[in-house]
Structure 1
Amino acid sequence: MTAYSVLMPFLPRRPEQLLPYAALVEWTGADRLWQGQAMLVEPFQGFASTAGAGFRVPTGLGVTLMPLRHPYEAAHQVRSLALATGESVIAGFGPGGRSFQQSLLGTPYASPLTAAREYLTIVRGLLSGKTVDIQGEYFSCHAEMGPAISPRIDLGLGVLRPGMARLAGEVADAAITWLTPASYLCDTVLPAMKAGSETAGRTVPRLSAIVPVALDRPDREPSDMVIASNSRHMQAPHYIDMLKKAGIDISGDELPVAAKRMIEGGAFVHGDIDRIVEQLAAYREAGVDEIILNVTGVFNVYGAKAAMDDLKSILAAVAS
């Protein structure tokens, strides 16, 4: 059965800003509260603070960026979050863009796939209580973590294209996608994940899709919400390449034209509530295990109340 979860639609500046969304998860059928990498309130600390305020909900990190922390520190943060909340955690990791890698590391990963494989292998070994003895090309670890019984922790990889999808099939518990149309997940991502799982002789990971969505309401301009939600992604080469593979060619387009193409191609879910439910059903039918509702575009253009209203309406509709 496909779960529906909620993505924080903005970067919190104070931990209490997470509370309405944690409450939404606790009081509705939403499965989990997600947040991407934030450079204001660090997601691990924000979620722990939310738990301290009384809202202990399952959490997801989609995704935190590998150059920011050694895998030992990542394992420590993830386990600390699970212990602090008393709830399960899906901890997604990704290499980030090449310019980000260059800024922090001095040079980008020559092979992001190798870096991600080493990173998840070390984190998994540490969380399992094993002594990790790995001398990798990008990450090394010769250590162990003290034993502790914690709620369930699943390790995820941010997935955009077939190479990372195959790697997720080999080493991850979850593949976490962003801006990927349902048809692309069905035709490209899931087959690659299955191929990776077959190679490794393991179960296919769960697929968690972060889906940008907005209800059609009077006086709303859909293209504005697409751009407000994803303008940086729409100009990034790896996203342009993925969208082209998905049949949405936005290369060379001005942002308003590209935004319309993304709506038409299903990369951004928009319409009345019946149309929204229909499009989200396409993700379920494509094999997605968890649909993470992303109303960042609504929040950025029309504010917090509008974003929360959309989330409540959509969650109520999919529940019925």
Structure 2
Amino acid sequence: MTAPMTAPMTPSDLAPEPAPTPVPAVPSVPAVLYPLQPDHPELVAPFAELVARTDARRLWLCQSFRSEPHQVLAYLAGLGHTVPVGTAVTLLPLRHPYEAALQARSLALLTGRPVVAGYGIGTPEFAHGLTPEPYRSPRTAVGEYVTSVRALLNGESVAHDGPYHRLHAALPPVGPHAPVEVGAGVLRPGMARTAGATADVAITWMTPPDYLRDTLAPRLAAGAAEAGRATRPRIATAVHVAVRRPGRDPRRMAEAAAGTHLRAPHYADMLRRAGLDVDGPDPAAELLRADVVVTGTPDEIAATLAAYRAAGVDEILLNPTAVLLTEGVHAAVADLEEIIAACRSTDRTSSGLVRSVL
């Protein structure tokens, strides 16, 4: 889940970390995703300000090969933007699990806020360019990696000799800090089962609600059960959104949002499994039909996002790629602010109805 290139801006006691506890939050309030590769952390600052201003769930970044995401988030914290953060996802061939755990814990120390550290393989070509040989089993690579990172964050001394990494070490203890959840990128059933057995959070992109409910959530639960875990990982899903406004064509928005990912074999395969005709004459219409790209008024978008929550999604990442690429930062932030407000309004209305029934 590597971000596309950026669009230009327009005008105490030392103790190991306890197991992570999901952060209490209003269920319908989404998180915010900055989905591009910033040349400078200042490009992300308006999104951090939005999270603080609206009390959105979290600020997420993708893998970036321009400004590295952990450093961007640390820079923003230094500016005073101390909000919950997450990475969705960084690519595990770039760093050893020890370094990954150290980076994640450092963010929790620097921000004082909860962190979700998400990891994924990336494309086979990318992984092979950085590793001595291709990953014969991406599922094994991710499962072992996530397990080692989680153990290190738990304060454990890890002794692991596997096909994809070697680790005989522990992180030095530090003082109390915010919790860190470890996530794994998930698109297809096999990786969902692996994440169910190992991760705290399953991070998905462009996964339609029906596919999440009928395919991924059951596999996550099965993986958790096989590993003897009491519950499946939380599901955090990035959803492309664009408010309907004069001059915005929904198909053009869908193409701008997801065109790059449609050309990636693993995304195309996932969407075919989900029942989308991405090889047909109008893939943009398919993305809109399946709510992979969600457009409409803020209230209409909030209603569609409720279907994602009903499908089992615990945290929705609002992804404004289309507007960010076509109209710039300020238009994207305006969209997100209106959608977040609509989600809050929907939650208040639903709560009022429940109270009146009771």
TM-score (ref. length: structure 1) = 0.96
Q: Within 1, Cα distance between the matches of 2:302 and 2:200?
A: 27
Equivalent AA in structure 2 for residue 64 of structure 1:
T
Alignment of 1:280-299 (within 5 A): 280-299=305-324
- Give me the whole-angstrom Cα distance separating, in 1, the residues matched to 2:276 and 2:301: 20
Q: Determine the C-alpha separation between the residues in 1 that align with 2:140 and 2:254.
A: 33
Secondary structure of the corresponding residue to residue 147 of structure 1: coil
**Per the alignment, do residues 195 and 236 of structure 1 end up closer, same or farther by CA in structure 2, a change over 3 Å counting?**
same
Contact 2:241 2:319 (C-alpha < 8 Å) held by counterparts: yes
Note the C-alpha offset of 1:2.
Answer: 4.1
* 1:69 to 2:90 alignment: no
- Structure 2: 5+ residue runs without aligned partners? 1-26, 346-358
Residue matched to 2:184: 157
Task: Tell me if the contact between 1:3 and 1:289 (Cα under 8 Å) persists in the aligned partners.
Answer: no
CA deviations over 1:242-297 (Å, ceiling 9, x no partner) = 1111110212x46xx21111111211111222321221110011111101100011
Deviation at 1:3, TM superposition (A): 4.0
Cα displacement (A) at 1:121: 1.4
Structure 1 stretches of at least 4 aligned residues deviating more than 3 Å after TM superposition: none
Q: Which amino acid in structure 1 is aligned with residue 332 of structure 2?
A: A
**Distance in 2, Cα, partners of 1:16 & 1:77:** 21
Which residue is 2:250 aligned to?
Answer: 222
Matched, 1:273 2:301: no
The equivalent of 1:97 in structure 2 is 123
Between 1:62-71 and 1:121-130, the stretch displaced more is 121-130
Deviates more, 1:216-225 or 1:309-318: 216-225
The aligned counterpart of 1:311 is: 336
Q: Residue 215 of structure 2: SS of its match in structure 1?
A: helix
Structure 1: stretches of 5+ with no match in the other structure: none
Does the CA contact (< 8 Å) of 1:29 and 1:319 recur in 2? no
- CA distance in 2 between partners of 1:17 and 1:96 (Å): 24
Distance (Å, rounded) in 1 between the aligned partners of 2:246 and 2:214: 35
TM-score normalised by L of structure 2: 0.86
CA RMSD of aligned residues (A): 1.2
Deviations along 1:219-255, one digit per CA (max 9) or x if unpaired, are 112222222222221011211111111110212x46x
Higher mean Cα deviation, 119-128 or 171-180?
119-128
Counterpart of 1:186 (choices 213, 222, 228) is 213
Q: Is residue 134 of structure 2 the alignment partner of residue 108 of structure 1?
A: yes
State the distance in 2 between where 1:54 and 1:187 align: 42
Partner residue in 1 for 2:73? 47
Shift of 1:106: 4.3
Secondary structure (helix, strand or coil) at the match of 2:47 reads helix
Mapped partners of 1:167, 1:30: distance in 2: 29
The aligned residue for residue 208 of structure 1 is: 236
Aligned length: 317
SS of aligned partner of 1:233:
helix
State percent identity of aligned pairs.
49
Tell me which residue corresponds to 2:41.
15
Cα distance in 1 for partners of 2:57, 2:234 equals: 14
Which among 272, 283, 288 is matched to residue 258 of structure 1? 283
Q: CA deviation at 1:58?
A: 0.4
Partner SS state of residue 30, structure 2: strand
**CA distance in 1: counterparts of 2:295 and 2:259, whole angstroms:** 17
**1:134–1:140 Cα contact (<8 Å) kept:** yes
- The 3-state SS of whatever aligns with 1:34 is strand
1-side partners of 2:150 and 2:303: how far apart? 37
- Shift in Å, 1:127: 1.2
